[in-house]
Structure 1
Amino acid sequence: MSTVTEVLEAARLRISEDAEPNRFLDLLERGRMPEERLTWLAGELYHLVSSDRRSFALLASRFPSPPAGDLYLAMAEGEGEALGLLGDFAAALGLTERDLQAYEPRPLAQAYPAYLVRSALFGTGSDIALALLANVRQSAGTYTRVADALLGRYGFEEKALGHFRYFADTPQPLLDEATATLAAGLAGGDDPAAAVRCARTVHALENAFWSCLAHGVDTG
């Protein structure tokens, strides 16, 4: 049986092999991201987070016993909090809740939440736990850089950036629950190779989300 450390190291290795530059971040930090794309960002995140909230709730209902049930219920509640904070960013862009609801998402930008739905329906209790643990450092760094660029380059007030700051700081107790969930899943016979595949796919599709937002923007 693989250990938590072995599976996590395997996932991080595969993710590092797939690493690609984040054009959206590069453009944002250079102040070259058109404001229209910031509107896209708010709209895409609205649909993404709304979907992820339901996916985590589904995982909590499929695996209600602790530690998995506690982990996924907390993650669903966290997405709800993040969704509320996103309203401040949208408002700073002049967007209302109705505007976010009416926003037409780009299919490839929503590939990540679509995959999460699949994992919630058909995956094991440990798959998303590993994806969280393997990707949390890069994800946190991305959201920190987005918030800092919006503050420094685009003049947003800190109050509008709560959504990004929220995802930049994953509480240690949640990571501890994810570790316990992964350990319990492996002990119960979950396939470690499938969990690594899930973590790698989550990473790739999160990158695809940012790439969609930068598609077609002049880099000159």
Structure 2
Amino acid sequence: MTHPARDLLRTTTAALAPDPEANPVVPRIAAGTAPRATLAALALEQTWVIPADRRAFEHLAVRSEATDPEAAAFFTTLAQGEALAGERLVAFARACGAEEASYEPLPGAQAYPAYVAWLALNAAPANAVLALTANFSAWGGYCAAIATALREHYGLSDEACAFFDFFAEPSPDLDRLAEGAVRAAVDTGRLDERRARMYGRLLQHYEASFWSALSGTMSH
């Protein structure tokens, strides 16, 4: 018999899935019609997002270590993943000719990591696990589409695409850790499903804000 945690992760992810037509940027990249300035802006925004999310996940891991070790293992793995992604981002930024020194980040694009930081300070760890796991599904799909397009339409190397390859690949270990954390919270009555879904809904809105902000670079 399937544990409720697995069903909860599946149904929450499905309920929070964004409208695939709502993203104004990824389809343009997938078609090869987004300008390279948009790719550069994507790289530069991620140079702000990735380290911020890594520190937020590290904080969540520390917060949950004593009382919620399953969640702590999930957040530790997330933080390690962000560190690896940050290393891979360098080659993409270089391939796009991104110039960090003169770049001003877009407020709409930085709402997502700001909210992740809010979760790190305020959310019960298990609720954050459920919300983040639901959100990651959409992000992975976007990265898969971008990775393919960068090779086919923009001539980028495997090294330059590695950042998107990393997020596009399924992560059975992370899925297992997420299920373990949600399972432990369900079994002990520590999961607030309504609040977790609210967090997930806000994450999806802030991710939509990220892509909406980037869409402004396509008219330049």
**Which residue pairs with 1:51 in the alignment?**
52
| SS at structure 2 position matched to 1:108 | coil
How do 1:178-197 residues align onto structure 2 when only pairs under 5 Å count? 178-186=178-186, 187-197=188-198
Runs of 4+ in 1 over 4 A off after TM superposition: 17-20
* Secondary structure, counterpart of 1:8 in structure 2: helix
Q: For residues 175 and 9 of structure 1, do their structure 2 counterparts lie closer, same or farther at Cα, with a shift above 3 Å needed?
A: closer
Matched with 1:120 is 120
How many angstroms apart in 2 are the aligned matches of 1:216 and 1:81?
27
Cα offset for 1:137? 3.0
- The more displaced of 209-218 and 36-45 is 209-218
Secondary structure of the structure 2 residue equivalent to 1:45: helix
Q: % of aligned pairs identical? A: 32
CA RMSD of aligned residues (A): 2.1
> Is contact 1:143–1:164 with CA below 8 Å preserved after alignment?
yes
Q: 1:67 aligns with which of 63, 67, 70?
A: 70
2:90 aligns with 87
Q: Which residue of 2 aligns with 1:174?
A: 174
The one-letter amino acid of 1:48's match is V
Which runs of 5 or more residues in structure 2 are unaligned? none
The separation in 2 between residues aligned to 1:149 and 1:192, in whole angstroms, is: 37
Range that drifts further, 6-15 or 166-175: 6-15
CA contact (8 A) 1:131 1:198 kept: yes
Q: How far off its partner does 1:158 sit?
A: 1.3
Is the Cα–Cα contact under 8 Å of residues 18 and 204 in structure 1 kept in the other structure? no
Between stretches 8-17 and 142-151, larger displacement belongs to: 8-17
Query: Is 2:38–2:218's contact at 8 Å kept on the other side of the alignment?
Result: no
For residues 132-171 of structure 1, the aligned pairs below 5 Å read 132-171=132-171
Aligned length: 214
Deviation at 1:4, TM superposition (A): 1.9
Deviation at 1:23, TM superposition (A): 1.4
Q: What CA deviation, in whole Å up to 9, does each residue of 1:113-154 have, x standing for no partner?
A: 011000010001112311233233322111010111111111
Cα distance in 2 between the residues matched to 1:55 and 1:84: 18
User: Partner residue of 2:201?
Assistant: 200
Match of residue 131 from structure 1: 131
List gaps (5 residues or longer) in structure 1: none
Q: 2-side partners of 1:158 and 1:179: how far apart? A: 32
